[in-house]
Amino acid sequence: MADPIKIRATQQGGITDIRVLMQHPMESGQRKDTASGNAIPAHFIQNFTISANGKQLIAGQLNTAISRNPLFAFRARGLKAGDRLAVHWTDTRGEQRSDEATVAG
């Protein structure tokens, strides 16, 4: 399984800043192996979701043009300290990862 998703969520003045670092190699399928000269197969995160207390906040689709270990930042209203955030992704090989964090005050 992939390395843990790093999630940081801080609430201040009614706005919650959410930062998500998804650990993934994100191969585009365009690079070649230097030893053999063969193309490295595509392997990237296709879909991800962010939920708060079981309710989906964000759903996204990614493609080959995203760098390794992508970092995303979002702002949300209506969350409060102690709310649970869950991040889930699925990649092109069917691998999945889910992690949770609590909104800090």
CATH architecture group of domain 6-26+40-102: Sandwich (2.60)
pLDDT of residue 1: 56
What pLDDT, on the 0 to 100 scale, is given for residue 97? 97
Taking the whole predicted model, whether its pTM rises above 0.85 is answered as yes
CA distance 84 to 69: 23
Taking 60 as the threshold, does the pLDDT of residue 38 lie above it?
A: yes
- Please answer whether residues 15 and 31 qualify as being in contact, where contact means their C-beta atoms are separated by less than 8 angstroms: no
Q: What is the spatial distance between Cα 69 and Cα 18, in angstroms, rounded to a whole number?
A: 16
All structural domains of the chain with their residue ranges: 6-26+40-102
Least confident of 18-22, 62-66, 83-87, 88-92: 62-66
Tokens encoding 63: 């493609």
Yes or no: say if 57 and 80 are a contact pair by the CB < 8 Å rule: no
- Quick count: other Cβ atoms within 10 Å of Cβ 90? 15
Task: Please state the rounded mean pLDDT for residues 54-79.
Answer: 94
What's the whole-number mean pLDDT along residues 18-46?
A: 93
Q: How far is it, in rounded angstroms, from Cα 99 to Cα 89? A: 9
